[in-house]
């Protein structure tokens, strides 16, 4: 099982969970496992053509998967997946 951290903006559609345990050996499989449990998240996380919504960032152990192997990025049991909304940075 891999833990996925759910940001506040997506929590309502994820049973108000902060963290959800999922299965799968890639980011894509882990997200499908999450959506299997909470189908209401699908429209927010994915676009109609099945790619990641540009306003959602997915990290495995702190690395943005867009710069790794995207949905094919491997995840292991001890890895932490974090979902975050794209937000304005500071300064």
Partner 1 sequence: MRPHAHGGGARHGGRFPSIVDAIGFTPLVEVPNVCPNPNVRLYAKLEFMNPTGSVKDRVAKYLIEDLEASGRLTPDSIIIEPTSGNTGIGLAMIARRKGYRVAVVVPDNVTIERKQLLSLFGAEVIDSPGHLGSNGAVALAKHLVEKDSRFVMPYQYGNEANPRAHEETTAEEIIADCPEVDAFVAGLGTGGTLMGVGRRLRRHNPNVRIFASEPLPGETVQGLRSLDEGFIPEIFDPTGIDGKILVSNVDAIEALRELTEKEGIFAGVSCGAVMVAAKQLAREMERGTIVALLADGGWKYLSEDIWTRDLEGEEDIVDSLNLW
Q: Which stretch binds partner 1 (CB under 8 A): 21-29, 30-38, 52-60, 69-77?
A: 52-60
**71 Cβ partners below 8 Å, 6+ apart?**
26, 27, 28, 31, 52, 65
Please name the helix (run of DSSP H) or strand (run of DSSP E) that holds residue 37, with its range, or none.
Answer: helix 27-37
Using CB under 8 A, which residues numbered 17 to 46 contact partner 1? 44
Report how many residues bind partner 1 under the rule CB under 8 A.
Answer: 25
The nearer residue to partner 1, 17 or 66, going by C-beta atoms, is 66
Task: Determine if 16 is a binding residue for partner 1 (CB under 8 A).
Answer: no
**22 Cβ partners below 8 Å, 6+ apart?**
1, 2, 3, 4, 30, 31, 33, 34, 37, 81
Q: Which of 67, 76, 77, 78 binds partner 1 (CB under 8 A)?
A: 67
Interface with partner 1 (CB under 8 A)? 7-10, 44, 53-57, 59, 62-64, 66-67, 82, 84-91
């Amino acid at each position: 099982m891999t833990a996925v951290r759910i940001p506040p903006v997506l929590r309502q559609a994820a049973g108000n969970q902060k963290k959800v345990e999922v299965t799968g050996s890639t980011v894509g499989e882990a997200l499908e496992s999450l959506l299997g449990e909470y189908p209401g998240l699908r429209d927010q996380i994915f676009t109609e053509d099945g790619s990641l919504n540009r306003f959602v960032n997915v990290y495995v152990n702190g690395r943005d998967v867009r710069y790794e192997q995207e949905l094919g990025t491997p995840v292991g049991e001890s890895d932490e997946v974090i979902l975050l909304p794209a937000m304005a940075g500071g300064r």
